[in-house]
Chains A and B, each alone.
Chain A
Amino acid sequence: MAAVAVPMRAEALSLFRSLLRTAKQFSDYNIREYTRRRAADAFRENRALTDAPATAAAAFAEGKKQLEVAKRQAVVYSLYAPKAKSVMELKVQ
């Protein structure tokens, strides 16, 4: 596995989709929204990095690291999720 290789577009998209999928697994409303939003904003910001291979590779590696953190934490948060959901998740009365 080439860890420092410049990601192909397909790889970057796959990482983005994984991050969004993992975001959906968070039981906490705020963390879920933040993960989704932050991933989207980070990928949008770094879109311009296609002409800087070293920074692109670093950003991709950082993204993969964050994905691992998110996967672990999604499990931890679901283990201790409170029974009552946030008022933001309840149907509007």
Chain B
Amino acid sequence: MALSRCLLPFFLGRRGPAVRALSTAAAPAAAAALEEDEESITVKGVSISGRPLYLDMQATTPVDPRVLDAMLPFNLSRYGNPHSRTHLYGWESDAAVEAARARVASLVGADPREIFFTSGATECNNIAVKGVMRFYRDRRRHVITTQTEHKCVLDSCRYLQQEGFEVTYLPVRSDGLVDLAQLEDAIRPDTGLVSVMAVNNEIGVVQPLEEIGRICKEKGVPFHTDAAQALGKIPIDVNRMGIGLMSLSGHKIYGPKGVGALYLRRRPRIRVEPQMSGGGQERGIRSGTVPTPLVVGFGAACEIAAQEMDYDHRRASALQQRLLDGIRAQVDEVVINGSMEHRYPGNLNLSFAYVEGESLLMGLKEVAVSSGSACTSASLEPSYVLRALGVEEDMAHTSIRFGIGRFTTEEEVDRAIELTVHQVKKLRDMSPLYEMAKAGIDLKSIEWSQH
């Protein structure tokens, strides 16, 4: 057994054509856009010497090998539909789904009957915002949310506005936190939902969930939180935090992409109008075959997160401090966007004054980071989250988000520091604005001549 395993890599090893022949037909088409050999990778005319080091954990996380190990059997021999009631394939699949449900529930302090699997946090946010308001449309006409929410929440609210509901978009303070007094004032007798995300994906700020939950409970308004970035990273207890609805995502906690879960409180019961019509799966909340491999992976990821939360948190804090100290020791005029005290340590959003963001990113080809968020990066606008914080346009354009995770190493952080500092210094050397600022000129007082 061991011998054949030793020989396996030899047979399937680095003989390019032989490996390609085993893969599906789709592979050659994808390979045409991206050329890869042992020396370098060429994509879109840019050539890099190896796979970049990954510091974009808020966009997505790698699948943990323990999660993959749990998922594989359900892609191989245990491929049954969990809703098939008549044979072993269905029974074993259903048992796996229910076991995963219990794991997700236990990570957030909920009952398994309160967890409903969906395709991801975006779908959960849609169900939560639109579903709740439509169900209670006769008595509740008002929604409260913040300006820094994820696009899917803001877009769902905009959609509701078109249907005649009213929405209050609460501003945030310059440290990213919501003002609790403003929130309390904004609640009206016909408010049907308060939606505030737990951890912001762009700036990493953690909102005061317990206080918000307490206010909502006093006023009798359901509290929804998008906990996609918070799950498994900060302790969440739906009862202590008074949460009525919660959106969870699989691929932010080292699980597979394409799966998420919606937490819906039973006591007092929160009802929603389903967005997906069909066979009534997931207690009618979300019809459609539950994808067993993905759900099993999500459950495994939650179980691992529960065990590793402290260890990962300590490591992420240490690495974040290392990154920050390393950059600040060599470069000045670096601004941290968002509160440092109320922050999840794996998310560091920095603005480098007098440096242009796109050119900084282009120079950091060997580090995979992002500026703005992946959802809004298609447009040229600076991030709306940074704008809500009151960050000036030029600083917003130059922001970089470093995402540190479970698999990030000290060496990667050191290399990222080295590359970032090198690039920032290079750009500042070329920048006339930096020269003027160093000479003591106040850039705001300059009258730029029009040609």
Contact = CB atoms under 8 A, between A and B. Distances in A.
Interface of A: 30-31, 33-35, 37-38, 41, 66, 69-70, 72-73, 75-79, 82-90
A34 B65 CA distance: 11
Interface residues of B, number: 34
B83 to A, nearest CB: 29
Nearest to A70: B65
B53 A86 contact: yes
B12 A79 contact: yes
Contacts of B411: 88
Contacts of A86: 50-53
Contacts of B36: 82-84
A50 B434 CA distance: 60
Contacts of B62: 30-31
B49 A87 contact: yes
A61 B415 CA distance: 37
B409 interface: yes
Given A34-B406, A41-B311, A84 B41 contact: yes
Contacts of A33: 407, 409
Interface in B408-428: 408-409, 411-412, 415
7 contacts: A31-B65, A33-B407, A66-B66, A70-B65, A79-B8, A87-B415, A89-B50
A35 B66 CA distance: 11
Contact of A78 (B9, B37, B50, B69): B9
B60 to A, nearest CB: 14
Contacts of A90: 49-50
A85 B50 CA distance: 5
B409 A69 contact: no
A8 B41 CA distance: 49
Given A30-B54, A30-B62, A73-B69, A83 B16 contact: yes
Contact of A83 (B14, B49, B409): B14
B52 A83 contact: no
Given A69-B66, A84-B40, A86-B53, 4 more contacts: A38-B311, A82-B51, A84-B39, A87-B53
